[in-house]
């Protein structure tokens, strides 16, 4: 197979063209490329570069949001192509960007990878209230709750999650993962989270480690 075809997937993300990205995803699937290869070698490198451009001030928030929505649409297309044996439940994860925060590009990358590996992932989106996160985790019987905070002003919402879970007697029921640009290992330890994710790949590895321990 011509792996250079993955470049078209990457470029569709960088150009913020949702229609083109969906078209490329469907073409690659019809040509027989493996769903995980399409994500790992095509779309994910594209969204990672978008994140880097944003970090360097070369892209702005509206463009970041468009890229995230494009990635979400592509992920849905690729998810449908996963083999039946791969789509079986291996664990249930609930993700959300905390209340007051609308950045979710890193979260989107993690979700794409986890879904490609066959996990049942629920993306609650951006600016999500803590009680809504917990309610959804309860409803779907989640194993892990992951939260992202990209602003120092919204980081306390991750702490709120830990405290509310404890007060409700639910803390031992879930493993929690925290991430986001200002988040650190020290912060995760301070609030009592089970794991800290430095980046998307680290998040995936930490989540699988936590699932092995469930």
Rounded CA separation 106/65 (Å): 11
Domain count, the chain: 2
Looking at the predicted structure, is the pLDDT value of residue 204 above 70? yes
- Say what the pTM is: 0.75
Same domain, 75 and 104: no
* Element (DSSP H or E) covering residue 48: helix 44-55
29, 51, 80 - which closes a domain = 80
pLDDT score, position 83: 66
Query: For the purposes of burial, counting CB atoms within 10 Å of the CB of 167, is it exposed (0-12), middle (13-18) or buried (19 or more)?
Result: exposed
Domain around 45: 3-80
Strands (E), 53-167: 92-97, 120-123, 144-148
Looking at the predicted structure, is the pLDDT value of residue 31 above 60? yes
- CATH number of 189's domain: 3.40.50.280
pLDDT score, position 155: 96
Q: Which residues contact 58 (CB under 8 A, 6 or more apart)?
A: none
Residue with tokens 């020290």: 186
Mean pLDDT of 121-143: 96
Same domain, 59 and 145: no
pLDDT score, position 208: 93
Question: Which candidate, 71, 7, 18, 70, places its Cα nearest to that of 41?
Answer: 7
50, 80, 110 - which closes a domain = 80
80, 104, 128 - which closes a domain = 80
Residue with tokens 């083999």: 83
Same domain, 97 and 73: no
Looking at the predicted structure, is the pLDDT value of residue 58 above 80? yes
Same domain, 136 and 184: yes
């Amino acid at each position: 197979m011509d792996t250079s075809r993955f470049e078209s997937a990457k470029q569709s993300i960088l150009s913020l063209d949702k229609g083109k990205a969906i078209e490329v995803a469907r073409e690659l699937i019809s040509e027989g490329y493996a769903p995980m290869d399409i994500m790992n070698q095509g779309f994910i490198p594209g969204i990672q570069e978008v994140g880097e451009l944003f970090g360097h001030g070369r892209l702005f928030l509206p463009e970041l949001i468009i890229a995230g929505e494009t990635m979400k649409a592509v992920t849905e297309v690729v998810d449908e192509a996963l083999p039946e044996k791969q789509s079986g439940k291996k664990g249930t994860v609930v993700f959300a960007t905390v209340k007051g925060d609308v950045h979710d590009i890193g979260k989107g990358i993690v979700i794409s990878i986890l879904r490609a590996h066959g996990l049942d992932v629920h993306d609650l989106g951006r600016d999500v209230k803590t009680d809504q996160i917990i309610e959804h985790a309860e409803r779907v019987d989640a194993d892990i709750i992951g939260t992202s905070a990209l602003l120092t002003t919204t980081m306390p919402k991750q702490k709120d999650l830990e405290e509310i879970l404890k007060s409700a007697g639910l803390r031992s029921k879930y493993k929690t993962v925290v991430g986001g640009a200002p988040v650190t290992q020290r912060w995760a330890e301070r609030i009592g989270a089970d794991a800290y994710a430095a980046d998307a790949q680290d998040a995936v590895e930490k989540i699988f480690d936590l699932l092995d321990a469930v």
